[in-house]
Chain A
Amino acid sequence: DGGITQSPKYLFRKEGQNVTLSCEQNLNHDAMYWYRQDPGQGLRLIYYSQIVNDFQKGDIAEGYSVSREKKESFPLTVTSAQKNPTAFYLCASRDQYATNEKLFFGSGTQLSVL
């Protein structure tokens, strides 16, 4: 599963600070996603992008921002407006034009507040 890489593995945020989580894929996938995972809450969609220079809000976009300047990259910024950022963040991608809609996940970033 080396096709999608997230970094860093662990990240700490101070009060009032913005932090950026990296997600890179070499699978040539058009669609990329950011999910937030909290214990007992499943995976909730933050933002997604189906094409370069375009992205849409998911169910819990408040306090987050994204960019999609390159097909391979979809970074997520957790802003100071996100008051409860501690969670496990998963990036994913898929080839939405193929018959196999399998979602490929990165290994995740655990974000904690100092």
Chain B
Amino acid sequence: GENVEQHPSTLSVQEGDSAVIKCTYSDSASNYFPWYKQELGKRPQLIIDIRSNVGEKKDQRIAVTLNKTAKHFSLHITETQPEDSAVYFCAASKGNTPLVFGKGTRLSVIA
């Protein structure tokens, strides 16, 4: 089955700097790659997603890139703000199969 690896497990950045979180997946048939943000004590919320027919997608300060050949995708957050501090999860799936999640990255933005 699918296996998703996520790095780093923790990340600290200064406010205003960029943050990058990387994930790799094992199943070349996976075609949907969402990113979720989970604030302390709350439910995960979808922040951006990308499908395998697209190489990059951007939404204001966040972007996701996908390299199908290398089977990895990354989340980029620019101009980080304290409210970006949270745990971020990547995931992958194909068709109607359940999402397989990475282990998460705890991002801390230092003011």
Cross-chain contact A105 with B100 (CB below 8 angstroms) = no
Instruction: Report the separation of the CA atoms of residues A105 and B101 in the bound assembly, to the nearest whole angstrom.
Output: 14
Known contacts A40-B9, A40-B103; is A50 also within 8 Å of B96 by CB? Answer: yes
Contact A103/B102 with A42-B89, A90-B44, A108-B43 known, Cβ cut-off 8 Å? no
A43 touches B49 (CB 8 A): no
A/B pair count, beta carbons within 8 Å: 45
Please tell me if B99 contacts chain A, counting CB pairs below 8 Å. Answer: yes
- Contact check: which of A41, A96, A108 meets B96 at CB < 8 Å? A96
**Interface residues of A, CB < 8 Å — how many?**
23
In-complex Cβ contact of A103 among B6, B9, B46, B96 (8 A)? B46
Contact with A along B1-41 (1 / 0, CB 8 A): 10000100100000000000000000000001010000000
CB-defined contacts of B74 to chain A, threshold 8 Å: none
Query: B: which residues have CB within 8 A of A?
Result: 1, 6, 9, 32, 34, 42-46, 49, 89, 93, 96, 98-104
A interface vs B, CB < 8 Å? 1, 31, 33, 35, 40-45, 48, 50, 58-59, 90, 96, 101-103, 105-108
